Amino acid sequence: MLTLATTVPGEPEIFASLQGEGPSLGRPSVFVRLSRCNLACHWCDTAYTWRFTGDNRPHRDGLAFDRGDNQLALAEAEVAARIAALGPDRLVITGGEPLLQGAALARLLDALAVLRPAGHVEIETNGTVAPHPALDPLVHQYNVSPKLAHSGNPAELALPAERLAAWAAEPRAFFKFVVATPDDLAEVRELARRHAFVSDRVFIMPEGTRPAILTERLRWLAPLVLAEGWRLTDRLHIHLYGDTRGT
């Protein structure tokens, strides 16, 4: 079984949209949003995937708590059928933290390959969890978004050095750093130096869930990103649809 986020109670968050961020920006894709996370970013735009109680404390104990309206368990075959019915042959798996459900994701992708053999699969991840060995060969692209200090997570949880080194050596991985102030870029620079990130695989993305904030931040980010030789990404879906579930 997979545990998914919901758009409304009882409806799993599986939808077609344009990939709004990073190297595949603008590509028609099916999105699957899973429930639960092992981090707790202050500014998380999908906190409904992990903050279930309203008391602002994340649950990090797997499925051993009351399932509220914000999540739903579904069989892998059912999720595969819903994905295939939506059309686009690119799949983006996100959350929450999808790699927490690695074995079930491997079963999902096996089922999907029967229905839709030539598809492309990318995973949005916070980069703290190693991909399950059965899942890894089925993935074409990892969009790895390590969390900087302004996320509010302790660095030892959010930036495990061995994992970052593994992602840096993984040719299918792109980094996507969320930045709110110029100071955040100094942290990216230090991580890039320590792990010898390939510049062409480093994306900087403004923090924000409103178009005006994104535009303002993109303007001061552009020259700084240019000077580093990294890449800049917007959040297209926010401009198109706002901060709405299922878009």
Ligand X SMILES: Nc1nc2[nH]cc(C(=O)O)c2c(=O)[nH]1
Q: With CB cut-offs between 5 and 8 Å by kind, which of ligand X, ligand SAM, ligand SF4, none does residue 65 bind?
A: none
Q: Which of 19, 46, 71, 101 binds ligand SAM (CB under 6 A)?
A: 46
Task: Tell me the residue number closest to ligand SAM, measured at CB.
Answer: 145
CB 59 within 8 A of CB 41: no
Give yes or no for residue 94 binding ligand X (CB under 6 A).
yes
Cα–Cα distance measured from residue 35 to residue 6, given in angstroms and rounded to the nearest whole number: 8
Q: Which of 18, 86, 138, 155 binds ligand X (CB under 6 A)?
A: 18
Q: Is 6 in the site for ligand X (CB under 6 A)?
A: no
| Residue that has been written with the tokens 């894709």 in this structure | 29
Q: Which stretch binds ligand SF4 (CB under 6 A): 16-24, 32-40, 197-205, 225-233?
A: 32-40
3-class DSSP state of 101: helix
71 contacts 11 by C-beta, under 8 angstroms: no
**Does the CA dihedral 17-42-142-239 come out positive or negative?**
positive
Distance CA 149, CA 185 (A): 11
Closest distance of CB 241 from ligand SAM, Å: 14
Of 41, 30, 27, 26, which Cα lies nearest the Cα of 4? 30
| Residue 101 counted as an annotated binding residue | no
Binding mask 92-121 for ligand SF4 (x = CB under 6 A): ---xxx------------------------
Kindly tell me which residue out of 5, 32, 44, 92 binds ligand SAM, with binding defined by CB under 6 A: 44
Run of H or E residues at 4: strand 2-8
Contacting residues toward ligand SAM, per CB under 6 A: 37, 43-46, 94-95, 97, 124-126, 145, 176, 178, 205, 207-209
